[in-house]
Amino acid sequence: MMQYIKLQKSDIHEIMRRYALETIGFEPIAEGAGNTNYLIKTTRGDYALTLFEIEKSRAIQICDLLNLLEEFKFPATRIQRLPNGSVMTSYRGKSVLLKPYIIGDVKKNLDENMLHQIGEKLAELHEIPLPRSTFLPEKHPYGLHTFSRVLKKGIDPDYERWLEGKYALLKKNIPEGLPYGLTHGDLFYDNVLFDGDEFKAMLDFEEAAQYYKIFDIGMALLGICLKDSQIALDKARSLIKGYQKIRMLTTQEKESLKLFIEYAAISTSSWRFWKYNIDTPIAEISMKYMEMVKIANNVGAVPNRIFMDVIFN
């Protein structure tokens, strides 16, 4: 995890006093790459403290979403309110959110039953109706519309040409009329908690949006069913089987699933390129985007007929 702000003991105590909580101890939480996170131990239990690197308006959207998920009893993070009822405070110019800490384990090697449960919960998320006046962005935070920010920069001409070609491929082949709805947007294995072998909670909704539901599934398969730069089709099949217990995919979604796994890998590569080479250059991870290039190419090379036979038959 990247600690964008390193908090001292005095900082932690100042923030927690606002919540009328007495701090016993604290430590950085080693998950996530976009915000600063700490585990805070208090006399009234443990909490997760987040200082957002995103703009305040986006942090407010996330709070509104977490409130919506609580309303529908979806297993996710809950918000700890301040004594005055507010859901957020600020510190050093950053929006601050406090959440009761959820006890559970991140499982990288998931069995069929666990994958089935993740699929079910993702489908349940997709079935939550959005408010008439929705607060979520209408595009994924690093979808197609963001690719232009890394093109023609001359940083890695080979990659930029590759991305330009993939952009054209996606624009040509993404069909119209695919179902839209509430999407998590970043459902990798470390955003899911288990209690033993039972699903406990879905975490980190910073990339949530109104977007293609099939993109969300593609991102989940990329983040949860990956093995040696390939999608493990048996694992993907288990997740999809669980998903379709709750929500059946349309024929168009089934036919587009492989393309959207590729799209998820391409968009993740684009974000990593932008983040670590342009927005916040970090030499030691500046080539991290190439992992996703390899995965996208591997997914694209799988014949769609074989993919469909394994996943759906």
Contact 206/95 with Cβ under 8 angstroms?
A: no
H or E segment and range at residue 255: helix 251-274
Range of the structural domain that residue 42 is part of: 9-100
Tens of pLDDT, residue by residue over 187-242, are 999 999 999 999 999 999 999 999 999 999 999 999 999 999 999 999 999 999 99
Of all residues in the chain, what percent carry a pLDDT higher than 70?
97
Q: Both 250 and 155 in a single domain?
A: yes
Q: Is 87 part of a structural domain of the chain?
A: yes
Q: Is residue 95 included in any domain, yes or no? A: yes
Q: pLDDT (tens digit, 9 = 90+) per residue, 122-172?
A: 999 999 998 876 788 999 999 999 999 999 999 999 999 999 999 999 999
Task: Assign residue 302 the CATH number of its domain.
Answer: 3.90.1200.10
Q: Are residues 31 and 95 in the same domain?
A: yes
pTM: 0.93
Q: No. of H helices and E strands in the chain?
A: 9, 11
Q: Is residue 226 part of a domain?
A: yes
Q: State the pLDDT confidence band at 5, using cuts at 50, 70 and 90.
A: confident
| 70 and 194 both lie in a single domain | no
Q: Are residues 25 and 160 in the same domain?
A: no
Q: pLDDT tier at 1 (50, 70, 90 boundaries)?
A: very low
245-294: pLDDT as tens digits: 999 999 999 999 999 999 999 999 999 999 999 999 999 999 999 999 99
Predicted local confidence at residue 34, as pLDDT: 64
Per-residue model confidence (pLDDT) at position 134: 74
- On whether both 217 and 297 belong to a single domain, the answer is yes
For residues 196 and 306, state if they share a domain.
yes
**Is residue 58 domain-shared with residue 117, that is, in the same domain?**
no
For all residues of the chain together, what is the average pLDDT?
Answer: 94
The domain boundary residue, chosen from 42, 73, 100: 100
**Which uninterrupted H or E stretch holds 164?**
helix 157-173
Same domain, 121 and 262: yes
Per the CB < 8 A criterion, the answer to whether 153 and 224 are in contact is no
Tell me how far CA of residue 200 lies from CA of 104, 121, 195, in angstroms.
Answer: 7, 10, 6
What's the number of domains the chain is made of?
2
For residue range 164-191, list pLDDT tens digits in order.
Answer: 999 999 999 999 999 999 999 999 999 9
